Amino acid sequence: MKKYDAVIVGAGHNGLVAAAYLAKAGRKVLVIERRRFVGGAAVTEAFPDAPGFKFSACAEGAGRLHPQIVTDLQLQRHGLETLPVDPVTVSVLPDGSALPIWQDPGRTAREIARFSKADAARYPEFIGFIDKMGAAMTALITMTPPSLPKPERGDWLPLVKFGLKARRLGKKDFSNFLRIISMSARDMLAEWFESDVVRGALAASAVKNITLGPIEIGTSFWFLYRSIGSRNGCFRPSGFVKGGMGVLTGAMAAAARQIGVEIRTGSEVAEIMVKNGRATGVVLGDGQKFEATVVVSNADPRSTFFKLLDSAHLDPFFMRGVRSIKSRGSVARIHLALSDLPRLRSPISGMNGNNVGHFQISPDIDYLERAYDAAKYGGFARKPYLEVSIPTLMDQSLAPAGKHVMSINMQYAAYLLRKSDWDEQRSSLGETVLETLVEVMPNIRDVIEHMQVLTPLDLERAYGLTEGNPNHGEMTLDQFFYMRPVPGWARYKTPIKNMFLCGAGAHPGGGVTGIPGMKAAQAIQSSLRD
Amino acid sequence: MSKKYDAIIIGGGHNGLTTGAYLAKAGLKTLILERRYLVGGATVSEELYPGFKYTVCSYVISMLRPEVIRELELPKYGLEILPLEGLFAPTADGDYLALWNDHSKTREEIKRHCLQDADAYDEFGLMLYHMAFAVKPILAMIPPDITSPTLSDLRNLGRLKKHIQQLGSEKFYMLSKLMTMSSADLLDEWFETDILKALFAFSSIIGTLNGPRSPGSAYVLLHHFMGEQDGQYGAWGFHKGGTGGLSQAIANAARHLGAEIRCNASVSDVISQNGRAAGVALDSGEEIYADIVVSSLDPRQTFLKLVDPKQLPGDFVDAIGNYKFRGSSGKVNLALDGLPEFTAMPDPSMLRANVELCISMDYLERAFDDAKYGNFSKQPFMDILIPSMFDPTMAPPGKHVMSIFVQYAPYELNGGWNDEQRDAFGDAVIDTLAEFAPNIKDLIVHRQVLTPWDMEREFGLTEGNIFHGELTLDQVFFFRPVPGWAKYRTPLRNYYLCGSGVHPGGGITSAPGRLAALEILKDLKK
């Protein structure tokens, strides 16, 4: 039997990042992936019934990936190529008009002027403000949460560093930072903008992939979280990965393998072995065992503790915390294989005809809020908030010549339907999305060759995301920082010795940032050294 | 120049009276000015229909700080709180849930709905007790300015750190979650029975434009649990004669300590000289001078109405402009010819409890949904009290008064509030009530409906917010009313705040009034 320093359960992007960093530090690492290929929720997949079309199934964009990881793992050498997305998005309105959000704040301001002169004047200042707030947020999420209420000796340095960074913001902006993370996106945006269109366009970023409406407290925090890694004044960094997200995780896997990581795909871990309160390795579904000094789970905390571990090994108080983690997925993903390019109802100024790679249906705050209401009562929105991308406009390799793919992020759709189930409602959800889309893209139905609808239940089944939550647990204030995944266990360790978490369920949370994987590797390294 | 005082308090609400009493007690020549004909602010009882005394706005007492009762010797001046007997909540299917002060009775009652919840109820109560205990010292402290702490702030922060560490990690984590989560999530972790959850959840929405599923609502639940009667947390009481009786007691104490109280004296402006507050001008044109001026009004009135905002820093004025009020509640007071009969109530003596029309978690949430889009709830939440059940002085023999606190009635109503909308709102309340107590319509001899607009006009509550500003995370502790100015002082020297718009916020606590007085006395080195 082979003995590893670390065995990592799951080859999602965070699992791969953790593996690569550990291997770089000289550790012998094995990564075990259930599916036939690596990537987790950051994968490029093909339509089973429409050959030649490829799409990024769940995660899209690498704009928030920590730049250090790209450098350290030399991801570009392993095939990663990202293209800037510009406009970042276009808010398409019911009357056919549109507000493009460009990378360049000045250009966006000129677009905004069509809706409000005052808002146009404030926009560049707002972007500057969000840059500053985003920097403070970045400082917060790249530090390992201190042990609270009693910080350990090693906690003081990062805390002091954060304090100094915060101080550099100045008294007024630091107060603003604290205030803004505890308010709603609606209120934060209302302090800056008067136009419903502008507020609606920006608020989308505050609710994407979470189950809260923009009027709820904490959405402003999520807005800032999503602005990390923003460069050149764009509050919502994206970054299109050529070849789809699978190329990103493929590059990570290649980098990891090159420094000695062993990756086994098509192998499902059935159980994490525990002896005398210590993790000792894993058992696969076929009975194969792998022993290791530490076991690291890239799965979400609820899957990890309820499915991979025998509860006899776990403290009931801790398990109560795990049971209380809110997963609450409310995102559906719809992928379309298109015979031709669909056209927006009206041309967008400054763009090549009606072609636009990214757009959203998020006309105003109330629209988003009403879409959320449906999920509150266990249903799905009949007028949903949509984020639409046509990646083939940037990368024709994803479809046969002249054809296109479209990926749609649909919100809100409750994981738990009260009156029915998803196997029954799947097609109705797809139809609702098309009905919404056809309003702004009249010819969409004519060009669909194939359609795939992934409900929250499908996301859970296919990608192991508990309740279909893309962030491995809701990104709300009560599940952030020293409270993620559960209070007291935010430092990648778990109550089982030698067992760690490295996925989005750990600090700082979801999004393709690689930060949980990178920070977990640091925590594992220091525990292996002890 | 007319008569000179050491201190003038603008507004004779319970906090203004409290500050006045403390300042007088320290020997300051203090004048309290009240716009209306009687003191009390939103803590008043008025006979609006002959023989029937309404607790017009606030109606129950629980959060009054024990140290205020002690230090101002309020029982000597008429404080008399009668305990309430519990809560009675009907459900949509004709059943009910009742929680009594008698613990074993409550236990039996919860068991009737769900066995596990009876145990969970005890644990939950204990948890809230611990949390209230954990927060209490924070509520009693002067919020430090953490962005540029002074020496005394650092001392306070040190004390806070010590306090939190003494709590231990389990309680600290629970508190952290409570501060940030929604009450629905909290209650889902504890209970199965929907009506039991709803019965806790209603206190998490009071005074805010938030629903039980809104993050931050768990803190409001805790805020309402903070009350204590004789050391028992979460217990509620009724002041003899209505809450106005409490205001009278504090006013009596203040007068006895030497404060002067003038009613029918509406302040139009704060007079400032050389960048300092120097007195006030009344609507009548009269000017009264004093060394310091203290406003018990809410922050918007205090800074944007009584003072020329040009005298204040621009950033500060902007921040006050962003301070959220968003009144979300209304009040309906009824004079009744007899007792209402609730279909679900097995025994009319249960009317000595608060009747809570909270119905279910979804009911509360849907009531909120109406309000967030600018409508009053068609089926609102109601906290109903019949004061004449335990205080016969409130109504003629055999007759009754009913106090109904209603949510939601948003200040920003689509189309705006007017007489017609007020009536429609009142009707929605009575219609909903009649579903549970069918004879109510026949009993009403007089009805008073207060919308948020009425509360603003009559009681000076900006946007009708009963707490002088929402109790949301971004508006409590050192954020209240705005960061950097949470210590009762203002950018205008010698001008202070002492109302619910400063830490620790709203409710009949007298805590802001007391803390403001202590800070003022510190400045005056008394």
* Domain range summary for chain B, segments of one domain joined by +: 5-80+242-323+468-525
- CA pair distance A413, A417, nearest whole angstrom: 8
Residues of B in contact with A218 (CB under 8 A): 180, 215-216
Lowest mean per-residue pLDDT among A22-36, A144-158, A289-303, B499-513: A144-158
- CA pair distance A494, B29, nearest whole angstrom: 62
Residues of A in contact with B483 (CB under 8 A): 175-176, 178-179
Q: Which of B315, B369, B474 sits opposite A373 (nearest CB)?
A: B369
Which of A210, A216, A372, A419 is the best substitution to test chain B (most B C-beta atoms within 10 A)?
A: A216
Q: A156 touching B, CB under 8 A? A: no
Percent of chain A past pLDDT 90, that is, above it, reads 82
Portion 189-208 of A in contact with B at CB < 8 A: 191
Give Cα A406 to chain centroid, integer Å: 19
Given the structure tokens 């927060």, which residue do they identify?
A: B135
Q: Which of A326, A366, A376 sits opposite B185 (nearest CB)?
A: A326
- CA pair distance B508, B64, nearest whole angstrom: 6
pTM over 0.90: yes
Q: A315 touching B, CB under 8 A? A: no
- CA pair distance B198, A279, nearest whole angstrom: 43
Interface confidence (ipTM) of the complex: 0.94
pLDDT above 60 for A446: yes
Q: A327 touching B, CB under 8 A? A: no
**Paired tokens of B206:** 């009071």
**What is residue B408's three-state secondary structure?**
coil
Question: Which residue positions in chain B have pLDDT lower than 70?
Answer: 1-3, 227-235
User: How high is the mean pLDDT of chain A?
Assistant: 94
Chain B residues with CB under 8 Å of a chain A CB are 146-148, 161, 164-165, 167-170, 172-173, 176-177, 180-181, 185, 189, 210, 213-216, 315, 322, 324, 362, 365, 369, 372-373, 472-474, 479, 483-484
Kind and range of the H or E element at A454?
Answer: strand A448-454
Q: A379 touching B, CB under 8 A? A: no
Which of B188, B372, B480 is the best substitution to test chain A (most A C-beta atoms within 10 A)?
A: B372
Q: State residue A226's pLDDT score.
A: 92
Q: Which residues of B54-78 are buried (b: 16+ CB within 10 A; e: fewer)?
A: bbbbbbbbbbbbeebbebbebeebb
Q: A171 touching B, CB under 8 A? A: yes
pLDDT band at A233 (very low <50, low <70, confident <90, very high): low
For range A480-501, the mean pLDDT: 95
Residues of B in contact with A485 (CB under 8 A): none
Q: Which of A409, A433, A408 is nearest to A330 (CA)?
A: A409
pLDDT above 60 for A1: no
Please tell me the class of the B5-80+242-323+468-525 domain: alpha beta
Q: State residue B178's pLDDT score.
A: 93
Chain A: nearest CA to B292, how far in angstroms? Answer: 28
Residues of B in contact with A215 (CB under 8 A): 372
Bridge partners of residue B289, in order along the sequence: B4, B279
Ramachandran sector of residue A203 (left: φ over 0; alpha: ψ -120 to 50; beta: rest) = alpha
Q: A148 touching B, CB under 8 A? A: yes
The neighbour count for residue B397, using CB atoms within 10 Å, is 7
Q: CB B185 to CB A478 under 8 A?
A: yes
Q: State residue A85's pLDDT score.
A: 86
Count CB pairs under 8 A between chains A and B: 93
Q: CB B215 to CB A171 under 8 A?
A: no
Q: State residue B227's pLDDT score.
A: 67
Q: Using CA coordinates, name the residue in chain A closest to B483.
A: A175
Q: CB B180 to CB A218 under 8 A?
A: yes
Q: Which of A171, A218, A483 sits opposite B148 (nearest CB)?
A: A171
Q: Is the dihedral of CA B35, B38, B42, B43 positive or negative?
A: positive
pLDDT above 60 for A376: yes
- CA pair distance B309, B314, nearest whole angstrom: 8
Q: A369 touching B, CB under 8 A? A: yes
